[in-house]
Chain A
């Protein structure tokens, strides 16, 4: 506990952040496995598994099932480890927000020291496993992803700029690039296209939630776009990002990475994103505004999940080769 706090105070001092709220974090001890699994952010992990699998299957080289499984396990555990490090660092602000107050560390069920050790050990083994199973490029990219999320986003950007989730979104967009590299040993335009789709998807997705939870973020001192630039600017940026995202989502069809089924889903799904982002832009007052924002938030998850699942299905089940789909 003491070493974790010292480490955090030191790092926060280096990046010029206020350390006074750290004293509020409680001690935790003897948590069960379930508490540790919750530190890995399982819902985020499931999306990481899907996007990494999409990247892996879109690579031109086929991958041995055992190597593919080991790589996927390493990538998902690496993502979970980054989540644990994020929760360790953010415990002080998590306890100020209703959405995160019950997480394992702020509620005192896991101590910060344990969470830090857990995140670091899992990060090490995840990168090591990927290096052994796949290649050094994929392992290096995974290590960079964990570093980018835990250090660049969590420790630096999140509390210092309203562009936090825009730049930090790169960490969430990297898993398909890691998966692609694990299968092919390279980074290509195709894998960067998957990166770009998730990168452009992140701002409308998170800002839709931030519009509704802006008071929470304000209380915790997190400079999200609605708190710093205001809801109007946020609504405009959500719409602009969505207008770029929708055609970008169709791009894999043009490069041959996605088949006909993917193209149809990307066109219809992208149109849905634009319609919902348009509603968020137009409806600005009362509960209807919150409802529109939450609809976009929920739909954006389905949209990305659908695009990645279709890439997995088309490549994994051979739909493109068999029926031209």
Chain B
């Protein structure tokens, strides 16, 4: 009994913190989404679901939603595939030092501030006339690509950058997960004549279940909320809104157009999407937590 009281007592500060800085703002966001809210006005009127009705008929929102789903769908799948593949390749090395070196090398982009990396790519790698990417293409006789100015290419450019900048974190997680798999499974498989692919498919992949669940959920949530690269690398919203995602639309509505009620409604929509996808993903991927 005393222990329980002590535990509750110790947890009070963190719960208070969550209540004030996480739960409170979420509830406030819901409330604002039902108002015609300009923070500079003394009074703001309650409009019920009018902001949500406006969502349905807003073609720019549909474009932002489509862009967001495409970005998240493609980037998360590729991110997880590449990071798992690289983690597996790194784990082949017997030397701990070599493994540590490669993990550090892949993790470096994660350490740099996302805004700084975005600026470097936008100003040095992607520019059409002077960028490194087109210089390299020129050496192999390929015509320059308008990486950030062509509506058909822009989102793919952002996807490539995002994979580069984010993959290191998942590589570390998968590496830790792979290292945690008991080696006797692989020894037994080798004795049975299993190939590298078979070992990966029937041992590594299933036993990475809990790591995979965590990686997918965290990657999905973080990618839905990504904003920095869209803010820095995309000029305004991109040609024909091809670089507009839900987070940048929320920012635009709230701080450029001062329509915080509608911005909050979009944020509620984003919250609902992330919530539903996370629930579905958890349902599909029920994990056996024991080896």
**Binding between chains A and B:** no
Q: CB within 8 Å of A: which residues of B?
A: none
Interface residues of A (CB under 8 A from B): none
